[in-house]
Amino acid sequence: MNITTPTTLSAAQYDGLAELLIDVINAGGSVGFFAPLQKETALEYWRQVKAEMESGLVLFIAEMDGVLVGSVQLAPSPKANGQHRAEVRKLITHTDYRGKGIASRLMQAVEDHALACGKTLLVLDTHLGRPAEAIYQHLGWTRVGVIPDYAAGTDGSLHATVVFYKQLA
């Protein structure tokens, strides 16, 4: 597996990212979209991510044998008093490649990159009760608490969100 932080995205990478997001959403993943996710909606999302990359967002992609199998984003705080912290967003692994340590490797890459950039505090939130909640705890993140009715799931019903943080130094 190869993990990279591209600064530009090729047509093949846009396509791979769109297919990855569609797979995750259509399998019930709760990362901001309703199912079924259309290809154009997915592509437009990644074009927005690319625009945010111009202002500091870091995109991590995991590729295996030329297939884009996972992704995560690191969004540094834009606030003057938050230069030491960043938010981890949209950790996703393709359903055909789960349970192989891809998310672990992506999260380690995020931590390494964050520390190298002087970030000492990471935050994230995730759907209460989904596998990611246990995975973040397994990866050493501290569970802060639960916000009820935070976001709509892929079926439109509201669900609670769990907030986590990890201090890197």
Ligand X SMILES: CC(C)(COP(=O)(O)OP(=O)(O)OC[C@H]1O[C@@H](n2cnc3c(N)ncnc32)[C@H](O)[C@@H]1OP(=O)(O)O)[C@@H](O)C(=O)NCCC(=O)NCCS
Residues that bind ligand X (CB under 6 A): 24, 29-31, 91-93, 98-104, 124, 126, 130-132, 134-135, 138
Query: In the bound complex, what is the minimum distance in angstroms from residue 93's beta carbon to ligand X?
Result: 3
Closer of 108 and 167 to ligand X (Cβ): 108
Closer of 130 and 159 to ligand X (Cβ): 130
DSSP H helices, the chain, are 11-26, 39-53, 102-116, 131-138
Query: In the bound complex, what is the minimum distance in angstroms from residue 13's beta carbon to ligand X?
Result: 18
DSSP letter assigned to residue 80:
G
Closer of 42 and 124 to ligand X (Cβ): 124
CA–CA distance, 21 with 38 (Å, rounded to integer): 10
CA–CA distance, 156 with 30 (Å, rounded to integer): 11
Closer of 100 and 159 to ligand X (Cβ): 100
User: Which amino acid, one-letter code, is at 57?
Assistant: L
Closer of 18 and 92 to ligand X (Cβ): 92
Query: In the bound complex, what is the minimum distance in angstroms from residue 3's beta carbon to ligand X?
Result: 12
How far from each other are the two terminal CA atoms of the chain, in whole angstroms?
Answer: 28
- What are 145's strand-pairing partners? 163
Is residue 168 helix, strand or coil? coil
CA–CA distance, 135 with 11 (Å, rounded to integer): 32
